[in-house]
Amino acid sequence: MVLNRETVLKALHNETVDQVPTSFWRHFADNEFTNAATNPSVLTTNLTGHRSYYQAVDVDFAKTMLDGYFPYPFHGVKDPKDMSDLHNLRPIADDDPWLTGQVALANQQKEIAGERPTFVTMFSPLFLLKWALIEHYKEPLLLADKRFADMYEADPQLILHVLKVLGDDQKKVARALMTASNIDGIYYSTQEIQDPRTQTSKFFEEVMEPVDIDVQNTINAVSPLNILHICGFDGADNHLDWFVNYPLQVINWATETDGYTLAEGKKLFGDRPVMGGFDNSTKGVLYRGNKQQIQDKVHALIAEAGKQGVLLGADCTVPRDIDYDHLRWAIEAAHD
């Protein structure tokens, strides 16, 4: 049974609750990088998937998926990998289909989610750029990080300019989402560039942090309740202590990969609400465990982190083929 909206909002506002809100999320498109501009049927897959999922699993809050709008349009640019072409990048207009489509999708997703607090995904400009540098599901994911680092090394000012354009466009999306939909907030996803040349405190402080915080300040200006997702998908690692100045209200990270438990992360981020606890991979207990193992994990997480400003979930999206019973068992134990 889904917890009532007020209980979930209390946890999100760092209050103590008797039953710990819990949610998981997954992709519904076979390829989340499918472009809605050229394959609009992906949006039907997205919405049908959310509807079926929320009927099958009583998650307490909704973190909806952006399948269809992962690819940024890069107006004026034929090939983002061509640095001479990147100089031609033009910002999106306020009525760009990439923006208005996200707002329409958010409204449809919120209708499906019902009274659940609902958060729509938005990605860091660094994600938007690096994802444009590979052919997804055909080239290795980390090749995007290498190509990003290559390009930054070759022309840092150009990459800073591109990130500024992408950041300003994401600010337009944030404003549109919060003025033209009735979602509860934004789930902002970011991740260090997984390459030794860029995974440094210097790059973080001079490039990544200013870009991310600029977007997040706009998010906070239009929405008082938002989630920072420090993404550890597919084993990506982040220096969690570098992110403490990021200003969003609720923090979600990969507890095992990044080396901070929920309680430790809560302390690190100045007692802000925290979310997560479960490894989202096919190697984790959520995917592989039996009912006893999964529920023992839930009880251990709550014993360690408490019930004030704590919400349970996974590091990131759960596998498409996960047994929904595993998610139900976790939610059941969190509500004990």
- As to burial, measured by CB atoms within 10 angstroms (0-12 exposed, 13-18 middle, 19+ buried), residue 18 is exposed
The sign one gets for the Cα dihedral 201, 225, 117, 106 is negative
Calculate what percentage of the chain has a pLDDT beyond 70.
100
pLDDT, position 256: 86
Structurally, the chain folds into a number of domains equal to 1
Would you say residue 235 has pLDDT above 90?
A: no
DSSP 25-79: ----SSSTT--TTT-THHHHHHHHHHHHHHHHS--SSEEE--TT--S---TT-S-
- Containing structural domain, residue 13: 5-334
Q: Which two tokens stand for residue 240?
A: 């969690």
- Can you say how many angstroms the Cα of residue 325 is from the centroid of all Cα atoms in its chain? 24
Would you say residue 264 has pLDDT above 90?
A: yes
Its pTM surpasses 0.95: yes
pLDDT, position 183: 98
pLDDT, position 1: 87
Distance CA 224, CA 106 (A): 18
CA angle 79, 175, 35 (to 5 degrees): 35
Here the CATH number for the domain that contains residue 11 is: 3.20.20.210
Tens-digit pLDDT profile for residues 101-132: 999 999 999 999 999 999 999 999 999 999 99
Tens-digit pLDDT profile for residues 159-204: 999 999 999 999 999 999 999 999 999 999 999 999 999 999 999 9
pLDDT, position 279: 95
Would you say residue 234 has pLDDT above 90?
A: no
Tens-digit pLDDT profile for residues 276-300: 999 999 999 999 999 999 999 999 9
Distance CA 78, CA 251 (A): 36
Would you say residue 88 has pLDDT above 90?
A: yes
For 187, the enclosing helix (H) or strand (E) is: strand 185-190
Q: Facing residues of 118 across strands?
A: 62
Q: Which two tokens stand for residue 232?
A: 């550890």
